[in-house]
Amino acid sequence: MQENISFSLWCDFIERNFLENSFVKMIQDGAVNGATSNPSIFQQALMNESYLEQKESLKKSLDDNKKAIYEALVKMDIQRAAEILLPLYENNTNDGYISIEVDPNLCEDAKATIEEGSRLFNDIGYPNVMIKIPATKAGFSAMEELIARGISVNATLVFSKDQVVGCMEAFKKGYEKFKQISKKEAKDYPRAVVSVFVSRFDRKCDSILKEHGIPTATLGIKNAQYLYQILNSYTLPAVRTLFASTGVKGNELEPAYYIKELYHPYAINTAPLTALNAFVELENIEEAYLPSLEELEEFFASVKEAGVDLNAVSKELLEQGLEDFKVAFSKILESL
């Protein structure tokens, strides 16, 4: 099913017990092709008992350095996920990745992001690790440099066309530098994904749009489809769109809604377990309809008429996303 249009399903969850049990089975069954993580995911995971013994040991050996303790804990999980996914990566370097995010407090510091991203990649020691970087101005500079160094990148918290363009221009420059330095073949290039966030638009804007007769749970989809086409217009074969924030809240939508609606060629969807399990159980999934850019522009015009400024909303969602990750990271350190 997924192979027909080169669509990939990645798991937006990581936790130690899960990796050794359900995740291994999902890989064996061909249900998923990769995984992603973020500070919010690790905030929840590190509360589990399976980390307790290592936490206590690390507190002693690392003199209670909280960030060092955090990195030691998560690097072990990332290394295990990379090990499990390595056969997929070796078979097809477009898949089989696990992402780890740099400290979100570095989002406006390119130099520190590059240093931390390079260090994490080298410390983890697996080729199928993506360094996750927020799509800010500083982030674009860091993305370019990491790609130039041969390190795969996951550009995260992407909501707007300007962000997609910023990511793609950075990757384009990074690949040009990499080619000059490495002389490697295209199949050996580092890979990149642009994580386009979807459902947050709907949760923020649906109540307003509904009052103006615009169907709910559509703005996030249409924006994602628009950005997907902008990205593909660059024809950088080592870069794919990754649809993120694709879980549903409440019971109004079927769990796999955001996966089905964005089932497009050469795309990735990273989803929480509920959505993943629901999608895997579906049969005869057809490629989703992709509106033309003209159709999408018409839709955005109706959204604007309803009083929703898409650019302003995108900016707010980016700022909120950055703050959420900073808060989660802070809470992790406090808990250690």
Residue numbers annotated as active site? 132
Angstrom CA distances, 336 to 3, 48, 60, 206, 333, stand at 42, 13, 12, 38, 5
Residues 6+ apart with CB under 8 A from 278: 254, 255, 256
Angle (deg, nearest 10), helices 161-182 and 219-232? 30
The amino acid at residue 122 is N
Which of helix, strand or coil describes residue 28?
Answer: helix
User: What is the spatial distance between Cα 140 and Cα 33, in angstroms, rounded to a whole number?
Assistant: 26
User: What is the spatial distance between Cα 76 and Cα 125, in angstroms, rounded to a whole number?
Assistant: 11
Nearest to 290 by CA among 241, 249, 237: 241
Which of helix, strand or coil describes residue 185?
Answer: coil
User: What is the spatial distance between Cα 259 and Cα 263, in angstroms, rounded to a whole number?
Assistant: 6
The length of the chain in residues reads: 336
The 8-class DSSP code of residue 245 comes to: -
**Beta bridge mates, 9:** 269
Q: Where are the alpha helices (DSSP H) in 63-198?
A: 66-91, 110-124, 137-148, 161-182
Residue 266, Ramachandran bin (φ over 0: left; ψ between -120 and 50: alpha; else beta): left
User: What is the spatial distance between Cα 102 and Cα 67, in angstroms, rounded to a whole number?
Assistant: 12
Place of tokens 């013994």: 53
